[in-house]
Amino acid sequence: MNADRLPVVILISGRGTNLQSVIDEVHAGRLPLDIRAVISNNPDAEGLARARAANLHTEVVSHRAYLDRVAFDDALRQAIDRHVPKLVVLAGFMRILGRAFIEHYAGRLINIHPSLLPKYPGLDTHARALAAGEREHGASVHFVTPVVDAGPIVAQAVVPVLPGDTPETLAERVLKEEHRIFPLALRWFAEGRLSIRDGRVLLDGAQRPEQGLVGAAT
Ligand code: GRF
């Protein structure tokens, strides 16, 4: 039944709204993924309940159970690979992953980040964008490479920064766009439409606009 769907494993750490956007698109028949497992490093992640509600297989690989990052990365890799995914999706996964882990999934590890990369890698992106007086902010979907939040960009969405914005109001505006471009980028991957040349993502073999696709959906 799932033969035409791409096998994926999704990693989360928290509330799981991006996971939910993916689940919703799969259920709507617009995103051909076979979600083989949702794995969290945090046993209390709200996203685990979302996954269970969608009858998905869930697992917890707690980073606290391992002595160091290498041991955690190894355990996580083993848990993932038991499901033989062709794509591993970081949907609000908040642990830094080591080089060996990332290289193991080269070209099949995708992340969503709440900024217009290369601006504001790392944490507290909304507060930093506000403090810098940015007039635009947004979200990026990118392939993961060993440098944090620096891999080739698949899709971006821009939102305005409005007078009176707080980190919370700005985050909410960005999150709405995350929920749009994340499933879209995963669909492109699942349909085999993405490739990487010279560190840039191509869609259907064509060079992308500056910094990846901004805005429009296809
Ligand atoms: C999102 O803003 C995502 O971009 C970032 O972490 C947040 C996760 O939110 N990587 P959620 O768990 O998907 O609701």
Question: Residue 148: its pLDDT value, please?
Answer: 87
Tokens representing residue 83 in the block: 């499901």
DSSP codes, 202-218: EETTEEPSTTSEES---
The CATH topology of domain 6-113+140-154+175-207 is: Rossmann fold (3.40.50)
CA dist list (Å): 177 to 21, 53, 114, 182: 11, 24, 10, 8
- Looking at the annotation, which residues are catalytic? 113
Question: Residue 216: its pLDDT value, please?
Answer: 42
Alpha-carbon span 101 to 80, nearest angstrom = 11
Residue 19 Cα: closest atom of ligand 1? 13
* Protein residue closest via CA to atom 10 of ligand 1: 92
* Protein residue closest via CA to atom 8 of ligand 1: 92
Question: Residue 20: its pLDDT value, please?
Answer: 98
Distance 114 CA to ligand 1 centre (A): 7
Measured torsion, CA atoms of residues 40, 89, 86, 206, in degrees rounded to the nearest 10:
180
Distance 1 CA to ligand 1 centre (A): 30
Question: Residue 218: its pLDDT value, please?
Answer: 38
DSSP secondary-structure letter at 65? G
Ligand 1: residue of 112, 153, 172, 181 to mutate (most ligand atoms within 8 A of CB) is: 112
Q: Which residues of the chain have pLDDT under 70?
A: 1-2, 208-218
Would strands 33-40 and 6-12 be described as parallel, antiparallel, or unpaired? parallel
Is the beta carbon of 92 within 6 A of some atom in ligand 1? yes
Is the beta carbon of 178 within 6 A of some atom in ligand 1? yes
Residue 175 Cα: closest atom of ligand 1? 2
Distance 113 CA to ligand 1 centre (A): 7
Q: Report yes or no: 98 and 69 within 8 Å, Cβ to Cβ.
A: yes
Question: Residue 149: its pLDDT value, please?
Answer: 86
pLDDT in tens, 172-195: 999 999 999 999 999 999 999 999
DSSP secondary-structure letter at 69? H
